[in-house]
Structure 1
Amino acid sequence: MLSRKQPMSRGARQLASRGFSGAPCRTSARGGAVPPADAEAAREQRLRDRAARAMASACPRSASMVACASTPMAACEKDNALCSEPYRRLVASMRCAWCGVSGFSQHAHENMGKGLGLKVDDRRAFPLCGARPGVEGCHVAFDQYRLLPGGRDAHRAAGARWAAATRHQVRSQGMWPARLPMWVEGEHEGGC
């Protein structure tokens, strides 16, 4: 197969004029050239050293932290957050709760109770539009507390209102998924 030659960059021309070839040159940490057979071994050693430094920096420094880290942790119980693909798809098919655009909605959860490793019940959701060409979308702005004035509290209150309105709309239209338990207002307050 024939290939086109690419024009040489300015830096490559300068190196070539000084007698350097275009072949990559491997060097050791001490600056000497490393034979190709030893290059893989040197790379593996560098990776082991880097991993050891990362582990050393992650270790607790004080004795009280060591004692605390060695005690077994009890698992935190979570509410039973229900996941329902039919409900998520139904919510995503609705108009955006904020701007009213249709065809771009996503299933957006309330911002109460979300976090690393925490699940939010799918029934605590509402439609918000996603990003599209030239528009950021309401979902991203909502999750970053930029959609409404008033910060986090205003967004959490609006999310609770929109989720309740979405559940009411789904129930009133008779579209509640058959296998999904009904949401009982007031029973599921707080995070999962």
Structure 2
Amino acid sequence: MPALTSRPFGRRPAAAPAQDREERLAQRAARALASARATASLRCSTSVSIGSTTGHAVPKDRPLRSEAFRRVVASLPCAWCGIAGFSQHAHENEGKGARLKVDDRRSMPLCCARPGIEGCHQRFDQYRLVPGGRQAHIDLGRALSRRTRAQIRDAGLWPANVPLWSEEA
């Protein structure tokens, strides 16, 4: 058998001498600082250029979070099946996303799952409560949250530190 002249899995050529640790850390810090400055300048900018389009930054409304309001909603009977004592505060599905919830005032009471019974809340979140898919559930959520807000307001249960919903103020 002929001898191989080169080894396919042979040693790599020797690498350049390692830099001084302090020098590497200084270079890393300089890169991080440059990146932070670039990011900060983007945040402070009033307009954003994307390709050939320029748009102005629009501040987003922060959704209201109120433990008191959520507790009032959860104390009501299920807005869909009417069972009392098993309700949870359920947000509308429009505008939700991964780890994103809409304003707490855009909600309704829906019952939770119980042994042997799938709750309305779970079916609503999975678009299986009514036929018609996502859009039907968005419409249903709007109607139920509107009815829930009116129910809370009419019963005098609206928490004092929670502003009324802008459409109903």
Range class of TM-score, shorter chain = 0.5 to 0.7
SS in 2 for 1:113: coil
- How many angstroms does 1:117 deviate by? 4.2
* Aligned sequence identity (%): 60
Give the structure 2 partner of residue 81 of structure 1.
63
Tell me if 1:98 matches 2:80.
yes
- How many angstroms does 1:111 deviate by? 0.2
Give the structure 1 partner of residue 96 of structure 2.
114
Specify which structure has the higher proportion of strand.
2
User: How many residue pairs were aligned?
Assistant: 117
Given the superposition, is the C-alpha separation of residues 186 and 151 from structure 1 closer, same or farther in structure 2, using an over 3 Å criterion?
farther
One-letter code aligned to 2:163: P
Which whole-Å deviations, capped at 9, do the CAs of 1:153-172 have from their partners, x for residues lacking one? 00000000000000000111
Give the structure 2 partner of residue 131 of structure 1.
113
Which whole-Å deviations, capped at 9, do the CAs of 1:11-32 have from their partners, x for residues lacking one? xxxxxxxxxxxxxxxxxxxxxx
CA–CA distance in 1 between the matches of 2:132 and 2:98?
24
* 8 A contact 2:111–2:120 mirrored in 1: yes
Give the structure 2 partner of residue 173 of structure 1.
155
| TM-score of the pair, normalised by structure 1 | 0.57
* 8 A contact 2:76–2:87 mirrored in 1: yes
Mean CA deviation greater in 87-96 or 178-187 = 178-187
- How many angstroms does 1:77 deviate by? 4.2
- Name stretches of at least 5 consecutive residues in structure 2 with no aligned partner: 1-37, 44-56
Give the structure 2 partner of residue 42 of structure 1.
none
Tell me if 1:184 matches 2:143.
no
* 8 A contact 2:105–2:145 mirrored in 1: yes
Aligned pairs for 1:139-150 within 5 A: 139-150=121-132
- How many angstroms does 1:89 deviate by? 0.5
Which whole-Å deviations, capped at 9, do the CAs of 1:80-136 have from their partners, x for residues lacking one? 211111110110011111111110000000001111243311000000000111101
| TM-score of the pair, normalised by structure 2 | 0.64
- How many angstroms does 1:186 deviate by? 7.6
Given the superposition, is the C-alpha separation of residues 186 and 150 from structure 1 closer, same or farther in structure 2, using an over 3 Å criterion?
farther
- Name stretches of at least 5 consecutive residues in structure 1 with no aligned partner: 1-70, 188-192
